Structure 1
Amino acid sequence: MFRFSPRAMLRLLAVTAAAVATVFVSLPSADAQAAAKAASPTPGGKAAAAASAAGASAAIAPKATVPIDINRASAAELETVPGIGKAYAARIIAARPYANKAQLVQKGILTQGLYDKIKDRLIAKQ
């Protein structure tokens, strides 16, 4: 049987705890393991592997969103668009109606950079 001094025992315990923590940090997450398993080839052949990989990427990809009508949307609906906060929503509502969504930049409501990022999420129905 080994005898350790209290100081040596604490050091051994600290080293062991550090090793265990390193192992847990370096392990891939369950999501990464599931994606790797879905991307690995299956006995069904290339078609099955491609279908499972497509399913994994579809689960990760964001869902398509319905465009928001800038002529009818409430402030809360406008605020769901990334980059549009309370101030921008109020400015959009105050400058209604819009013949097209490009008028958000023409009227000085949005900057060109912000408009370019969110233009696919907006529509302007009459």
Structure 2
Amino acid sequence: MASVAQAKDTPKNAAAASATAASAKTELLDINSASKKELSGLPKIGDVRSDAIIKGRPYRGKDELLSKKIIPEDVYNGIKDLIIAKQKTTEKK
């Protein structure tokens, strides 16, 4: 009977794990506002590359890291699913 109970619990645990992973994916790092420390935490991004990312701001899209030659393509491919380039909205008064 214990194995039947475990089998029933497994899909629930799997669903909970998937929900946690999905919520983690939605929290992308904004390259337009991230700190040097946050950027340095990305794979293959150290102090020098994080400084270059900050210096090149603002970005209209994350792909500008490639077009502006801020980072090489292999590094971009490793972080593109972890980052976003949010745009500032200006309020009209």
Relative to the length of structure 1, the TM-score reads: 0.54
Asked which structure has the greater CA Rg, the reply is: 1
CA contact (8 A) 1:42 1:48 kept: no
Unaligned ranges ≥5, structure 2: 88-93
CA contact (8 A) 1:101 1:119 kept: yes
Q: Matched residues in 2 for 1:83 and 1:100: separation?
A: 20
Relative to the length of structure 2, the TM-score reads: 0.71
Q: Matched residues in 2 for 1:119 and 1:77: separation?
A: 15
- Partner SS, residue 90 of structure 1: helix
Confirm whether residue 97 of structure 1 aligns to residue 67 of structure 2: no
Deviating beyond 3 angstroms after TM superposition, the runs of 4 or more aligned structure 1 residues are 48-52
Residue 69 of structure 1, CA deviation: 0.9
Residue 64 of structure 1 corresponds to 24
Higher relative CO (Cα under 8 Å, sequence separation at least 6) belongs to: 2
Structure 1 residues 49 and 64: alpha-carbon distance in aligned structure 2, compared to 1, 3 A threshold: closer
Would you say how many aligned residue pairs link Structure 1 and Structure 2? 82
Identical pairs, percent: 37
1:73 pairs, out of 16, 22, 34, with 34
Residue 51 of structure 1, CA deviation: 4.2
